[in-house]
Amino acid sequence: MAINEIQEEIISEFEVLQDDRESTIFYIMELGEKLPSMDEKDKIDINLIKGCQSKVWLITKIYDNNVYFRADSNTEITKGLISLLIRVFSGQDADDIMNANLFFIEKIGMHQMIGSQRSNGFASMIKQMKLFALTYRELNKHKKFNAHS
């Protein structure tokens, strides 16, 4: 499914919650619980995202030229938030990730709900995921260039 289609799907899921703050938080926590835990061996400092109040570990893998993410956090809400990003980004093309306009964030009222500190952390997660995509694309370009020369 394309990035924008997934975003539309998330928006419609959140509409059911009718802006009820508590229900929305509980829902995000449920999403967090459903996100498979990361291997303990990957929960190391080098995989931590800087700029988050809670701990968020993020790793990436490439299959068939698409970028896949796995993440974990020590708080359920943060885990739920990153699970949304994983749903949107994981398995997508690097260019699509880099160029994605994440309109679902505003549509589901994320900033009002999670406050400025967690919003900054959320922005750091997005930045890190896009950075992984960029790194992969640049490496790939380099490989192609080397292969042709």
Partner 1 sequence: MEDPVIQYSTRFDVQAIRSIFPLLDQEVNGYPLAYFDNAATTQKPVSVIEALHDYYTGYNSNIHRGIHALAEKATEAYEQTRLAIQEFINAPEKEEIIFTRGTTEGINLIASTYGKKFLKQHDEVIITGMEHHSNIVPWQMICDETGAVLKIVPVSVTGELEMDELENMISDNTKIVSVVFVSNTLGTINPVKEIIKKAHDAGAIVVLDAAQAMQHLDVDVRDLNCDFLAFSGHKMYGPTGVGVLYGKRKHLEAMPPYQGGGEMISEVTFEKTTYNDIPYKFEAGTPNIADVVALKEAVYFISNLGKQTIRTHEATLLAMATEGLKEIDTVKIYADHHHKVSVISFNIENMHPFDAGMLLDAKGIAVRTGHHCTQPLMARYGIEGTVRASFAVYNTLEEVDRLIKAVSRIATR
Residues within the interface to partner 1 (CB under 8 A): 21-22, 25-26, 29, 53-54, 74-78, 114-115, 118
Please report how close the Cβ of residue 76 comes to partner 1 at its closest, in angstroms: 5
Q: Which is nearer to partner 1, 105 or 133 (CB)?
A: 105
Nearer to partner 1 (CB atom), residue 79 or residue 133: 79
Least distance (Å) from partner 1 to the CB of residue 20? Answer: 9
How many whole angstroms separate alpha carbon 106 and alpha carbon 139?
32
The CB-of-89 to partner 1 minimum distance in angstroms stands at 23
Residues 60 and 68: beta-carbon distance below 8 Å: yes
Q: Which residues of 36-69 are buried (b: 16+ CB within 10 A; e: fewer)?
A: eebeeeebeeebebeebeeebbbbbeeeeebbeb
